[in-house]
Structure 1
Amino acid sequence: MMNRRTFLGTTLGAIGLNTCNARSAGAVAQNAAPEPLVWPLVAKPQAGIRSFAGHTDTVLDVIGRLGTPPSLVIFTEGNHLMVLSSDEIVGAFPSWAKSQPQYANLDLTNIILTTLPQPILVQMIRTGGVALGNLTLDTSRSSGFYPDIVMGYPEPLRQLRRMGVIESRARFFCRNRGVALLVRKGNPLGIHGLADMVRTGARIALPDSGDVRAQCLAAVETQLGKPAANALVAAETNFPGRLGIMHRDLPEMVARGYADVAFTWYHLVSFWARAFPDHFEFVAIPGVESFFTKIAFAPTVNPLRSEAAKAFDEFFFARARDVYPRHDFARMDDNEFGAPLGLD
């Protein structure tokens, strides 16, 4: 196991409405000896293979084995990675396929998931590659590391449709439960709602872009008014080396003391608090359930692994409606689950 990477630079200064309280927040973070998060591995350890499992953004969220012909490739926005990569979905898919006569002969030993923010995924498909330092991964059709299925929000899917990547119709499969707050273990600033973030002058970790940022700010503006939403942005902090992978960046900022509170989707905060119980606590916000988004499933045009994609489509829509609520997503009704999304 490699030593944990440390970022260069000094801790960002506190920015907030209450300077005195903000300094106290910085002192709390410093005294708690913050350290980077070391994420649990999704892939099973492989005998004899050296593993470099650093913290947070050291390795992009690509699950699977490159260089071996893929069995199925899914590109998806990353905020539901804890469900898609679980033993209930991708982990259960190969055995289900073996039990189905029409899919029993499929080789599903190398399912590759790429769970990254949607702007990154769109750019990877458009340009045909992504660079990790000196290493460039080829994401063209000819490489094989190219999606058979794309999961995402409506607008990124429409971009991919205009590029001719995916079919003209997608289907919705999950809806989140709005937004919530992540604080350090013990909740040292006593943050129990949106007003407390403003009152304490807390340094705030916000998503850098997209639907989730818009919904967070809309929730604050609705509950506390436009000045409070502006104050939230003014109190936003950052850290050196941030890559814009929100589902990893935000908990890292709280764990390392760059921020006092992170503000994002409910199910992500719940996941982080469960995955790192010694680091974090979950803080629910009453009355913000309406600030949600939905994720849709879109097949690629002429997928490279069409039978595997067809099998996964059948398998996924037979169980996603029940599995996602177990990971703190909302339960979709008959009109929502599987509802079509036109992309033209």
Structure 2
Amino acid sequence: METGGNMAVLSPGPVRLSVPAADVVMDLHGDPAHHDLALFVHGSDWMVMEDLLRAFRAAYPEYGDVYYETLPAGILVRQMREGALQVGDLVIRVPPDVIAAGSTTLAELAEEEWLTEYEEYASTTLTILVRQGNPLGIIGWGDLLRPEVRLALPNPEREEIGRLVREAIVQALGEEGWIELCERRRLYGANRLTEIHHRQTPQWILNGEVDAGPVWVTEALHQAREGAPLEAVELVEGESRRGRFALGIVERTCRHPEAAQAFVEFVRGPGGRAVYEQHGFEGPAAHEPAYESAPAGPLGV
């Protein structure tokens, strides 16, 4: 449209404004106002989503515009309950069609009648991420108590992985060990709690701000594929924990039921399973303990 003698013709599409280091929001994707499907996906799946949605769109081209978030489950749950997410001065109000998170989180939401059905689709286990070469020789939870080790811990109140990390550390080191790592050492700055561990823990280690941090095995595998100078400490049998992940249609807020059903079926089907396997995830593991025994209250409160 011509608006003046010297004005350029406006091309269709959004105005693009990018200011490096000031506009980076890595876990929000797509158009929050206009989309065919809205997904709330816990951060544990962040590295999968590009490949997963590429395969999903190939199978269902009619649902090409997907808005999705890959934030910690505690943040997603609070966003659902409160109806909005605020990032700086920006407020985003997107009701989810589908949520994917830990099995226990989905069970909690079902009790609150956000959804009636959910199914497990993948699982993975804990590991400890360190710098390449493991310069401090960390081999298990007990080494995290050494005075020279600085640690990033996922926040149990925000992040599902934090529940299992707490459980594993308490079993290995006792309640006093958890208090030492999570409370006392935080007071004098040796250890830190993450808000988004899948972003912060690897970066803090690379920056030299911490020496180690528990993550999912799949996150460590992703860092290795990306060539980051990091490696995983394989925990001995009995010291790790398995996270079980489930997804379901959020009937209370779902605006795109057909697209939501197609996505859930795709993730649970051979196409979705293949993508998750490529990223190191295992299938559902209903026979193993997951979040149920973790000593923490509901996420997102």
Same fold, TM exceeding 0.5? yes
User: How many angstroms apart in 2 are the aligned matches of 1:77 and 1:265?
Assistant: 13
The residue that corresponds to 1:183 in the other structure is 130
Q: Does the alignment pair 1:51 with 2:18?
A: yes
* 1:134-145 pair list within 5 angstroms: 134-137=89-92, 139=93, 145=94
SS of residue paired to 1:268: helix
The structure-2 alpha-carbon separation of the partners of 1:75 and 1:275, relative to structure 1 and needing over 3 Å to count, comes to same
The residue that corresponds to 1:66 in the other structure is 32
Q: 2:280 aligns with which of 328, 332, 336?
A: 328
The structure-2 alpha-carbon separation of the partners of 1:194 and 1:149, relative to structure 1 and needing over 3 Å to count, comes to same
User: How many angstroms apart in 2 are the aligned matches of 1:305 and 1:174?
Assistant: 24
Q: 1:315 aligns with which of 241, 266, 278?
A: 266
Shift of 1:250: 1.6
Shift of 1:204: 0.7
Question: TM-score w.r.t. structure 2 length?
Answer: 0.76
The AA in structure 2 aligned to 1:267 is T
User: How many angstroms apart in 1 are the aligned matches of 2:222 and 2:60?
Assistant: 28
Q: 2:195 aligns with which of 231, 239, 244?
A: 244
The residue that corresponds to 2:155 in the other structure is 208
Q: 1:151 aligns with which of 96, 100, 108?
A: 100
User: How many angstroms apart in 2 are the aligned matches of 1:220 and 1:184?
Assistant: 21
Shift of 1:59: 1.6
Structure 1 stretch 304-313 or stretch 315-324: which is displaced more? 315-324
The answer (yes or no) to whether the contact 1:149–1:298 under 8 Å persists in 2 is yes
The structure-2 alpha-carbon separation of the partners of 1:169 and 1:51, relative to structure 1 and needing over 3 Å to count, comes to same
Q: Does the alignment pair 1:304 with 2:251?
A: no
SS of residue paired to 1:293: strand
SS of residue paired to 2:75: helix
The structure-2 alpha-carbon separation of the partners of 1:220 and 1:122, relative to structure 1 and needing over 3 Å to count, comes to closer
The answer (yes or no) to whether the contact 2:127–2:240 under 8 Å persists in 1 is no
Aligned residue pair count: 267
User: How many angstroms apart in 1 are the aligned matches of 2:96 and 2:243?
Assistant: 23
The AA in structure 2 aligned to 1:326 is Q
The answer (yes or no) to whether the contact 2:168–2:239 under 8 Å persists in 1 is no
Q: Percent identity?
A: 28
The structure-2 alpha-carbon separation of the partners of 1:90 and 1:254, relative to structure 1 and needing over 3 Å to count, comes to same
Query: Over the residues paired in the alignment, what is the CA RMSD in angstroms?
Result: 3.0
SS of residue paired to 1:217: helix
Question: TM-score w.r.t. structure 1 length?
Answer: 0.68
The residue that corresponds to 2:236 in the other structure is 286
Structure 1 stretch 304-313 or stretch 282-291: which is displaced more? 282-291
Q: Does the alignment pair 1:78 with 2:29?
A: no
